[in-house]
Amino acid sequence: MTFQVTLPPEQKRSYIKELITNLSEPKVYNKWSDVRLEKSLTNLKSMGRDPVGCERLFEKSSIQMLMTHGGLGSDPKRGQCLAFPDTPAACEALTCLANMFLINESTRDVALDLHLLLRLCALANLNSCSLRSHFLVARLLFLLTLRRPKIMKQAVDNYYINSLLAGLMDFHLDRLVSKAASSALSSDPFTSPQVLGELLKVAYNVTSEYIALRKMTPPEPTGFRGLSLAALQGHSTPRPSLSPEPLIEPGTNPVTDNQLTKADSASFGQLLQPAIATLMHVPMDTSSLSIPPPHSNAIALLLCYAPQDFANDFFPLTDSLALTERLADICDHCLGLLSMNGESGSSGASPRPDSTASNSNLSLYYASFNHNVSHSLLPLLWLLISISQAHIPSRLTMRNRWFPANRDRTVAPEAADTTGGRMVFILSQPMPTPLSQSVGNLLYNLWNHDVHQLVAEVGYGNAAGYLVEQGIPYMAGGGEAPPSPNSGSGKPLAGPGPVNPITGKIHPPPNGAPRSTAGLSHVSSASPMRTPALASATWDKPMTEEEKEQEAEKLMVLFDRLQRTGVVEFEHPMAKAVQEGKFEEVESDSSAD
């Protein structure tokens, strides 16, 4: 009989005390059958899910008892390893420990004092054990290494935890590639992709905490200079407020300062290939509304490596662009998960708006962007930035893939139903977010930090917010002129007429007469910054009321940014009029109806 957590606290304490006493006495439990021992540990596991009344379970002696039943009761002898029993009772004991570490974090320190991490790393027969055993060992390693930078050097140098992780990841990758894992999917609740995701989480813990220890920084970086566990688990990130200081250095990778270098290849190089192989060879679940494990875990781990120092792994000579193209595919998939009015498609990907949909429908199509996708995209964008900085062919591949020379320039860049169009839309949002700044950094990097090329491709109206927020100066006419349809570079662009530098699209002038935008600019009286201007207002169609409200909102946000940075002094005209007494309240006459 298996007890559920329905006992009163006092009765529960009494029963747990009796169970622990019996399980701590070899003279008692040695007389039990395997079934009775398993059921006793199962009852202890069930009641331990609720911390109320489990004080005895969290004691050091109880943790030692569970380690003994899990086959981890003693340290390995010098030069020898341990063997996991892989019995149902041993798995139940490890499950009890995992639940305990999750509920009561202080018990992890007790287990570390009892050398649990050393004993887990000394297991040598895991390849012949069940997938459940693999998952439990990985989960225990994950919890023991979470926010524990002080033990990482010992775990890496003395316990050889990276060798254990690399061996287990290679084992499951071989099963997945050879299709050996597919036959057990229906019978075993634990799968190789699931175990692989747990192992990659452990590898990320070990790598990131090792870097934190080496650089003597806090284990969880603040801001966006590092990747926190909350970002990996999909927790929301607070929206940054407008400030004169840029949150992320323009065009740079936010985790560059916290990456492994060539000097760390001996200890951590063995973890890199399994992470890359996971992205390249393990099929990704496209029905998920984000990047699912183990692919999200592999991306997080790759962020800990500097691509320029591990070029042979990131860009092998046989196919130097394979990883870049795979990551670009994942980025295409994530940005394709845009939903129409918050409704997702049946296949997991969101339905596309009809080609004749109005601008308002297209705006709703993008405005319902899923938050899970946003948090999945951040690590991926940072990784793409890091790769584009280290490898010029990868940079060109991404730029030509998302912004081809023969794309339709008669459509506004932010309205194009393409990956590049969605990036520009995110960039053009009036309020700055980590996602919009990361997209801006990636695009700024793809065009070699040339602000004029960026503006020529996406339009100044879309890039203005990012440029102002990051403090990047832009002078109209200071760079190359926007490409024209007959410029001879690349394939001809679709549509007649020059590219409007404000909107980034081709506006055919009235009567079909082409007009040049060269030298068109205006100088603001409040700022020396020169801004491109339209040659004629007749180029644009009349704006709808909704479009006017959107443009007014963008202008208000832009003025607010300029005021905060000290460029201009601006006061809302309505608020000023009320303060000066030019408006007064007038009571409505109810009898007028």
Q: What is the pLDDT of residues 265-283, one digit of tens each?
A: 999 999 999 999 999 999 9
Does any domain span residue 209?
A: no
Question: What does each C-alpha distance from 97 to 2, 132, 455 come to in angstroms?
Answer: 18, 14, 56
Residue partners of 152: CB distance under 8 A and separation at least 6: 145, 206, 209, 210, 213
Residues 489 and 405 sit within 8 Å (Cβ to Cβ) = yes
Q: What angle do CA 406, 408, 409 make, to 5 degrees?
A: 105
CB-count burial class (<10 Å; 0-12, 13-18, 19+) for 225? middle
Does any domain span residue 563?
A: yes
The structure tokens listed for 45 are: 């596991």
Does any domain span residue 532?
A: yes
Calpha distance 38→405 (Å, rounded):
66
Does any domain span residue 296?
A: no
Residue partners of 178: CB distance under 8 A and separation at least 6: none
Closest CA to 444 of 509, 376, 491, 395: 395
Confidence (pLDDT) at 308: 95
pLDDT tens digits for 566-581? Answer: 666 767 677 777 777 7
Does any domain span residue 571?
A: yes
Instruction: Find tokens 């409040």 and name the residue.
Output: 526
Q: What secondary structure does DSSP assign to 67-118, as a single string?
A: HHHTT-SSPPPTT--B-----HHHHHHHHHHHHHHHH-THHHHHHHHTTHHH
Q: What angle do CA 516, 517, 520 make, to 5 degrees?
A: 135
Q: How many CA atoms lie within 13 A of 450 on its CB side?
A: 13
Calpha distance 466→438 (Å, rounded):
10
Confidence (pLDDT) at 544: 83
Question: What does each C-alpha distance from 94 to 13, 38, 120, 196 come to in angstroms?
Answer: 21, 12, 11, 18
Query: Can you give 479-523 as a three-state secondary structure string?
Result: CCCCCCCCCCCCCCCCCCCCECCCCCCECCCHHHCCCCCCCCCEE
Does any domain span residue 337?
A: no
Calpha distance 451→533 (Å, rounded):
17
The structure tokens listed for 504 are: 């980034």
Across 433-472, b (16+ Cβ under 10 Å) vs e yields: bbbbbbbbbbbbbbbeeebbbbbbbbbbbbbbbbbbbbeb
Residues 199 and 172 sit within 8 Å (Cβ to Cβ) = yes
Confidence (pLDDT) at 89: 97
The structure tokens listed for 58 are: 């969290």
Work out how many domains the chain is built from and give that number: 1
Closest CA to 440 of 424, 453, 456: 424
Closest CA to 424 of 485, 375, 362, 474: 362
Confidence (pLDDT) at 185: 47
Length of the chain measured in residues: 593
Does any domain span residue 12?
A: no
Calpha distance 206→194 (Å, rounded):
19
> Which residue(s) pair with 531 in the sheet?
522
Confidence (pLDDT) at 44: 95
Residue partners of 55: CB distance under 8 A and separation at least 6: 13
Q: What secondary structure does DSSP assign to 216-249, as a single string?
A: T--SS--TTSS--HHHHTT---PPPPP-SS-SS-
Helix axes 322-335 and 295-302, enclosed angle (nearest 10):
120
Instruction: Find tokens 């009015």 and name the residue.
Output: 341
pLDDT tens digits for 26-58? Answer: 999 999 999 999 999 999 999 999 999 999 999
Calpha distance 242→29 (Å, rounded):
64
State the alpha helices, DSSP H only, in 104-178: 106-113, 116-121, 131-145, 152-157, 161-177
Does any domain span residue 326?
A: no
Question: How far does CA 390 lie from the centroid of its chain?
Answer: 20
Q: Which helix (H) or strand (E) holds 530?
A: strand 530-531
Residues of the chain with pLDDT under 50: 1, 3, 5, 183-186, 217-248, 339-369, 479-495, 510, 512-539, 592-593
Confidence (pLDDT) at 563: 74
Percentage, residues of the chain above pLDDT 90: 55
CB-count burial class (<10 Å; 0-12, 13-18, 19+) for 536? exposed
Q: What angle do CA 371, 373, 376 make, to 5 degrees?
A: 115
Q: What angle do CA 533, 538, 543 make, to 5 degrees?
A: 90
> Which residue(s) pair with 343 in the sheet?
340
CB-count burial class (<10 Å; 0-12, 13-18, 19+) for 209? buried
Q: Classify residue 370 by its DSSP letter.
A: -
Q: Which helix (H) or strand (E) holds 531?
A: strand 530-531
Closest CA to 116 of 151, 163, 88: 151
Calpha distance 149→129 (Å, rounded):
30
Calpha distance 429→414 (Å, rounded):
10
The counts of H helices and E strands in the chain are 25, 2
End-to-end Cα spacing for the chain: 76
Confidence (pLDDT) at 151: 93
Backbone CA torsion sign across 545, 548, 550, 553: negative
Confidence (pLDDT) at 541: 67
Q: Which domain holds residue 433?
A: 403-578
